[in-house]
Amino acid sequence: MSDVFRVTAADGAARAGVLRTAHGEVRTPVFMPVGTKGTVKAVDPEELRALGAQIVLGNAYHLHFRPGEDMIAELGGLHAFTGWDGPILTDSGGFQVFSLRDTLLELDDGGVTFRSVYDGSPERFTPELAARIQERLGSDIAMCLDICLPAGGPRSELEEAVRRTSLWAERQRDLPRAPGQLRFAITQGGLDGGLRRHSAEALVALDFDGYAVGGLSVGEERTPMLDAVEAAAPLLPADRPRYFMGIGDPEGVIEVIARGIDMFDCVLPTRTARTGSALTWEGRLNLRNARFAGEARPLDDACGCPACTRFTRAYLRHLVNQQEILGLRLLSLHNLRFMCDLVAAARQAIERGDFRRWREDALARLRTER
């Protein structure tokens, strides 16, 4: 048994659990708001806490270039620097390096060379550097540097990505860590069942604190993606947390929880907010729509967020249309609260042994797009 993670209830493949980190416990399943550059855009850490957020993401790639991990370490680490004293997971930068395909210069067994998105200068990331950046940042969970390819590439490329990701994970496993820092490996293999199995077996043999299912949600269709998650999750140890990287729409989150995923992150709730849309139980509401102009009721009667308890749809629409900062902030708070509440409800349903029925009801309600 792992003393890092404990499954407290299971219903079908779905599980509820508790993850222990150096900055507190996280109850899973958990949605992790993304604070790429050391901030969840437009949201104060105290507000995040009040919304029910338990753990936030930071990104090694962006923080390495601006302001730099040594600067952050001198200022007391990422928790002190950002004012968030709860658990932090840092991504290794693999996704950023490989999703910005036109900045890639060279990939070999040693690492990857690319042009920085900040000033175009050639930079090199290695497993050793990714581990060092995260050690300096002092995050609670550090991710291994991996090779994440877009969907639809040739199998040979995918096979090579799996091989290198395992090779890199092996080199990262025993590198220095921040006090109490956990390290998660990232499985790859795209939609290829054989490669996924191969990747999982190689990484599980190295015995990490947790495992991510990476290289999905990168442009493939939803159904084969969910089939791949369903096949990938049982390949990972039952007593370790499973993290699906990059899913944050309400339906998708429910579907990956149903397949045994414990943790997930996505910029969608905050990015959607900044385009003027609200996630609700009536589906996604685009507040630019004229029908909201005179609506005196809140976004969602049942929501306890600042936007819903204090303001009308008509006012939020006005703010969005006038591109007022307050409008984008209020929608960000609401969308994050919606995701935290949704996942808490899923957790409670798992604990009650009622997840199957809850999931059907929830999906039916969410599919009403207006």
Q: Which residues of the chain form contacts with Zn ion (CB under 5 A)?
A: 303, 305, 307-308, 334
Rounded distance between C-alpha atoms, residue 331 and residue 357, angstroms: 29
**Helix H or strand E encompassing 250:** helix 250-258
Residue 2 vs residues 19, 140, 237, 335: alpha-carbon distances, Å: 10, 16, 10, 33
Rounded distance between C-alpha atoms, residue 36 and residue 299, angstroms: 27
Comparing C-alpha atoms, which of 345, 337, 338 is closest to residue 49? Answer: 337
- Residue holding tokens 């993850």? 19
Annotated catalytic residue within 11, 91, 140, 262: 91
| Residues in Cβ contact with 160 at an 8 Å cutoff, skipping those fewer than 6 apart | none
CB of 339 to Zn ion, least distance (A): 11
Residue with smaller CB distance to Zn ion, 261 or 308: 308
Count CB neighbours of 218 within 10 A: 19
CB of 300 to Zn ion, least distance (A): 5
Rounded distance between C-alpha atoms, residue 117 and residue 141, angstroms: 25
The pair of structure tokens assigned to 329 is 């902030």
Positive or negative, the Cα torsion across 194, 245, 287, 338?
positive
- Annotated active-site residue 91? The verdict is yes
Residue with smaller CB distance to Zn ion, 64 or 317: 317
Residue with smaller CB distance to Zn ion, 55 or 336: 336
Annotated catalytic residue within 140, 265, 300, 341: 265
Query: Residues 128, 76: contact at Cβ < 8 Å?
Result: no
The pair of structure tokens assigned to 100 is 């910005």
Q: H helices of 10-109, where? A: 45-51, 60-65, 69-74, 78-82, 94-99
Residue with smaller CB distance to Zn ion, 334 or 347: 334
The pair of structure tokens assigned to 363 is 């999906």
Residue with smaller CB distance to Zn ion, 46 or 174: 46
CB of 313 to Zn ion, least distance (A): 11
Comparing C-alpha atoms, which of 139, 96, 135 is closest to residue 118? Answer: 96
The strands making up 24-28's β-sheet, listed across from edge to edge, are 5-11, 14-21, 24-28
- Annotated active-site residue 265? The verdict is yes
CB of 303 to Zn ion, least distance (A): 3
CB of 308 to Zn ion, least distance (A): 3
Residue with smaller CB distance to Zn ion, 33 or 111: 33
CB of 333 to Zn ion, least distance (A): 7
Catalytic residues, by residue number, are 91, 265
